[in-house]
Amino acid sequence: MPAGLSADRKSEILSCIRYINTSRFPFLPHTGKSRMANFRNHYEAAFEAFLRHHNIPCISTREDSRSASIFSGDPSLKTLDFIISAKQNPFSLQNFPQDSEEPQNISTQTGHFKTLEHSDITKRHLSELSWLVDIKGRRFPSGKTKKRCWVNWVTEDDLISLTRWENIFGEKFFGLFVFAYLITENVSPLEQSRLFSYHKNHYAFLGVPLSTYRTLCRRCSPRWKTFTLPVKTFREQAIPLDELLTIQNL
Residues 137-175 have pLDDT tens digits of 999 999 888 899 999 999 999 999 999 999 888 888 999
Q: What is the pTM of this model?
A: 0.73
Quick one: which H or E segment has residue 239?
Answer: strand 239-240
Partner residues linked to 137 by β-bridges = 180
Q: Residue length, the chain?
A: 250
Query: What are the φ and ψ backbone dihedral angles of 185, each rounded to 5 degrees?
Result: -140, -175
How far out from the chain centre does Cα 129 lie? 12
Confidence of residue 50 (pLDDT cuts 50, 70, 90): very high
Among 57, 95, 61, which Cα is nearest to 246's?
57
Among 59, 67, 70, 66, which Cα is nearest to 21's?
59
40 touches 61 (CB < 8 A):
no
Which span out of 67-71, 73-77, 99-103, 205-209 was modeled with the highest average pLDDT? 205-209
Mean of pLDDT over the chain: 74
Mean pLDDT of 228-240: 96
- The tally of CA atoms less than 13 A away on the side-chain side of residue 93 is 14
pLDDT in tens, 171-203: 889 999 999 999 999 999 999 999 999 999 999
As a whole-number percent, the residues of the chain with pLDDT over 70 amount to: 60
Query: What are the φ and ψ backbone dihedral angles of 216, each rounded to 5 degrees?
Result: -105, -5
pLDDT at 24: 38
User: Identity (one letter) of the amino acid at 132?
Assistant: L
